Amino acid sequence: MPKVNFDIPLDFLQASTPPLIGVDISASSVKMVELSEVPKKGGYVVERYVIEPLPKDAVSDGNIANLDAVAESLQRAWKRMGTRIKNVSLALPAAAVITKKILLPAGMREEDLEYQVESEANQYIPFALEEVNLDFQVIGPAQGNPDEVEVLLAASRKANVEDRVAAAQVAGLKALVIDVEPYAAEMAFGQILAQLPDGAEDKCVALVDIGANVMNVNVLRNGQSIYLRDQQVGGDQLTQQIQAMFGLSAQEAESAKRNGGLPDNYESDVLSPFRENVVMEVARALQFFFTSTQYNEVDYIVLAGGCAVLPGLDDAVATRTQVSTMVANPFALMTLSGRIKPRQLQADAPALIIACGLAMRRFDPS
């Protein structure tokens, strides 16, 4: 760890062994997941989870704009969880983090590796190093060259990290791990790959996470990300269209979107056009992937995020792209505690993929 750049006691990107809760602070809500391990047998138990709405604009463009409001939502969520664990794992949005894979000589001592990473960081980070939290992970031997190792370098401005740590502290929680959202999603993605034929070995799988404001597309192959892209489409657009069409407040529109009770013309006049727009954006994202990489096909699409459960979206995406499409459920192969309502978890699961991955950091030995 490049200790010179750390002013707060947490591991950026690193795993942690104490019990902790995965906490995803998104644009619209706070999501918390607590997992445990099945003794001796391996696998995970879903102990608890909760989704707590955030006030509008408390988080804007991935940044905490209203720290007190976020802290209050964190506190409410934690109380609803009914857990004693106060250690949490948080994540930064990809846009707030600069990542770069670099090659370094194999067999370096830890202190020499830290020095070399810092030297390399100066080339890629457009800020003074004292303004950023910097971390790295050794991924493994470089492909085709055993004398080198591939190292993932990650850096974020200290304000981005400190805002999330401060919100947790105000809520009475302690941040032990700061991750990056796409990497947290990849952690949980292993649970989804296990549900695909042959674990989708040597296949391209597009994880499409449709949140409140942004659709994140992460194409993975054998568990490694090979393409990342954000597109501006999300569930808030549907909420706004419901507001405009039916004269509802933002809160009423959001509740009606989730729980039903809208007029009969909602499907034809609002939901169907929005769904078609999302499908078009997914197809566009795949075209960008094909034109900017060596690959010309995707074998599976996995839909995540709050919009993934929109009626008919998975079928519409599969029809438009001609790619096998499924809705993400990282908990499908896990054991559920008696506190969990299976049907409700299945509905909420696509929105919990980042929180799930963050909760899994507790068990990551790397």
Instruction: Give the residue-averaged pLDDT of 180-185.
Output: 87
- Domains identified in the chain, total number: 2
Q: How far is CA 345 from the centre of its chain?
A: 17
What confidence tens digit (pLDDT) does each residue in 346-359 have? 999 999 999 999 99
- Tens-place pLDDT, residues 275-317: 999 999 999 999 999 999 999 999 999 999 988 988 899 999 9
Both 29 and 170 in one domain: the answer is yes
* pTM as predicted: 0.85
Q: Is residue 206 part of a domain?
A: yes
DSSP string, 24-41: EE-SSEEEEEEEEEPTTT
pLDDT at 140: 78
Asked if residue 309 and residue 202 are part of one domain, the reply reads: yes
Per-residue pLDDT tens for 211-248? 888 898 999 998 888 898 888 888 889 888 988 888 88
Domain with 177 in it: what CATH number? 3.30.420.40
Residues 178 and 202 occupy one common structural domain: no
pLDDT band for position 70 (50/70/90)?
A: very high
> What does the chain come to in residues?
366
> Do 288 and 340 belong to one domain?
no
More confident residue, 349 or 98: 349
Across residues 79-102, what is the average pLDDT?
A: 89
pLDDT (tens digit, 9 = 90+) per residue, 129-145?
777 777 777 777 887 78
d(CA 290, CA 185) in angstroms, rounded, equals 22
Domain range for 287 is: 196-327
Determine contact, residues 2/329, Cβ cutoff 8 Å: no
Claim to verify: residue 79 and residue 166 sit in the same structural domain = yes
- Are residues 169 and 247 both part of a single domain? no
pLDDT for 36 equals 92
> Residue 351: inside a domain, yes or no?
yes
pLDDT over 60 at 4, yes or no: no
User: Within a domain: residue 115?
Assistant: no
What's the rounded Cα separation, in Å, for the pair 306 and 53? 12
**Order of strands across the sheet with 44-53?**
11-12, 174-180, 87-92, 21-25, 29-37, 44-53, 335-336
Whether 200 and 179 map to the same domain: the answer is: no
Q: Which residues contact 46 (CB under 8 A, 6 or more apart)?
A: 33, 34, 35, 331, 334, 335, 336, 337, 340, 345
Q: What's the pLDDT score for residue 6?
A: 29
Residues 268 and 311 in one domain: yes
pLDDT at 287: 95
Q: Is 272 exposed, middle or buried (0-12, 13-18, 19+ CB in 10 A)?
A: middle
